[in-house]
Amino acid sequence: MAVCANSGTQNEEIKEVTTKQFRRFDVVTDDSDHLYRNHNQTNKNKDGDYFTNASSGVHKKIMKEWKVLEENLPELIYVRVYERRIDLLRAAIVGPAGTPYHDGLFFFDLAFPPDYPSSPPQVRYWSFGLRLNPNLYTNGLVCLSLLNTWHGKKNERWNPSESTVLQLLLSVQGLVLNEKPYFNIPGIAAFPGQGKKSMAYNDNVFILSCKTMVYLLRRTPKNFEDLVHSHFRDRAHDILTACNAFMDGRARVGHTTDNGSISSSSWSSVSVSSKFKAAMKSWYPQMVVALGRTGASLESFLELRVEKETALSKQVKKEKNKSKTASFNPLVIKKWVKKVIGESHSSPRSKLTQFLTSPQHTSFPSFSHRPTSRPHRISHHHKRITSENITLSTGGGGDVGGRRDVAGGVGLDGGGEDAGGGGDAAGGDDVVLVGGGDAASDVGIGDAPGGADDIVSPVLLLFLCLDL
C-alpha cells in the first residue's frame, strides 16, 4: 500500500524554498497569531508608549537586541521580530542531533516587559497540549532560571546588565532540548538506577516530538511557513528512517548524527517496549502523509512499513503455533499416566478411583481426609463418590479459576478460599484436585493450604478418563 501525497495542485502551492535560503533573522508585519498579541497594550508613560518612543530606554535596548540576534544567531535558530510591535518576538529552534528532539522544530513566542531589561522577557512555548520536557509545560510555560520562573543560583538568574535574548535561546537549545531531558527533573539525578527510566522518557519524548511535527504542518506559525515546509521536506527521509530504526530495535532513540544517519554507537540490537511500538505504529502513517504534503517523495516508506509488519506478524504467529505444539504432546502425557497408574486393565473410572483413594503413592503425597458430620456428597445435583461412580464437573463444581459461588463437584482449577468446589464454601466434603488444604476443600492435595506442594493438571484428569 503506497501513499502518494504529492498531487500536482499541492506541489504548485509549495514554494521551492530551501532551509538555507530562509533567513535566520528578519522583520515582519503579521503578528495575528502571536501568543502575546494582546499583551502590553496599555503600557504608556507621560512620553507615550514605551515601545514606540524611540528615545525610551526600553526601545533602545530592544533595538540593541535585534542587532545582536541578526549578527550572532547560530545555524539552528531562526527569529522573526515585528515592525509595528517591537515588544514581540518569535523564535524557532531545530532539535539538535543526538537528542530525542532531533529534526524537530520548536517554536517560542516572547514578549518584552515595559521595564525591560530590568525584568526578563515572558516566554510561551507552542506545546499543542504536549509536554515533551520537564521544563516545557502543556500550557506553554517555560520553566527556566534565566526567566526567573525557576529558583536557581544567583549567576543562573536573569541579570539586567548582562543577560540577552540570544543567551536565552541558546539556553533553551542546549540545556532544555538535550540528550537526556529526564534528568532536568529537579533532584532526580540523586537517586540511583535512573538510566532505564531516562531511556523510557526519551522514547516518549520522541513520540511527542513526532506528534508536534504533524501538528506544526497542520497549523504552521505565521511567517515561518517556508521554513516549516522546507525543513520537513529536506529531512523527511531522515525522520522516517529514524522512526523505522527505532521501531525495529536497530537503534536507540536519540542516536542520530548531524547528517541524519544513525549513530554507529547504536548499531547493536536494542530492546523496544511494546508501548513505544504501538504508539509509533499509530502515528507513522500520519507522519508519512503529513511529510509527503511538503513535496517530499515518500511513496515507499509506508509500503515498506506495511511489509515489515506483515512479515513480523507471520513470524509471531508461527512461533506461537510452534510453542503450542511443543507444550502439548498427548503421547507424552499418556505414557506418564500409564507409568504413574500402571498397566492395569481395569476401567478408566476404576483407575481414577484407585488413584484418588490410595493412602500413599510414590509420585504424590498422601491424601488427608478431615472428619465431618455431613454426608459425603459432591453437590445436590451430583452423585456420591464411590468406587464405581465418579463424576467430573467443570460447571456444577469448581469452574476453571474456581469461584466461591459454584458448589460441589470436582474442581478443575483453583486454590485458596476461592478454589472451585470444596470445603465449607461449597457445602460438602468435595474433592479438589487443583488447590487444596483446609481453606479450599475437605480433601486437599499436599500439606500446605492452597495446594502449594503438588498440582494435578486438568489435562491429566481428562486423560485419566480416556481409554488409555
Per-position b or e across 308-329, b if 16+ CB within 10 A of its CB: eeeeeeeeeeeeeeeeeeeeee
Q: Please tell me which residue in 4, 143, 210, 243 is annotated as part of the active site.
A: 143
* CB distance 395 to 381 below 8 Å: no
User: Can you read off the three cell numbers belonging to residue 305?
Assistant: 512499513
C-alpha–C-alpha distance, residues 363 and 333, integer Å: 15
C-alpha–C-alpha distance, residues 105 and 92, integer Å: 6
| Pairing, β 44-45 against β 88-94 | unpaired
C-alpha–C-alpha distance, residues 366 and 432, integer Å: 14
User: Can you read off the three cell numbers belonging to residue 258?
Assistant: 548531524
Query: Cα–Cα–Cα angle for 417, 419, 420, nearest 5°?
Result: 140
Q: Comparing C-alpha atoms, which of 79, 105, 93 is closest to residue 239?
A: 105
DSSP assignment, residue 77? E
C-alpha–C-alpha distance, residues 408 and 377, integer Å: 8
C-alpha dihedral (204, 208, 214, 215), degrees to nearest 10: 160
Q: 210 catalytic, yes or no? A: no
C-alpha–C-alpha distance, residues 353 and 367, integer Å: 13
Q: Is 106 helix (H, G, I), strand (E, B) or coil?
A: strand
The residues annotated with a catalytic role in the active site are 143
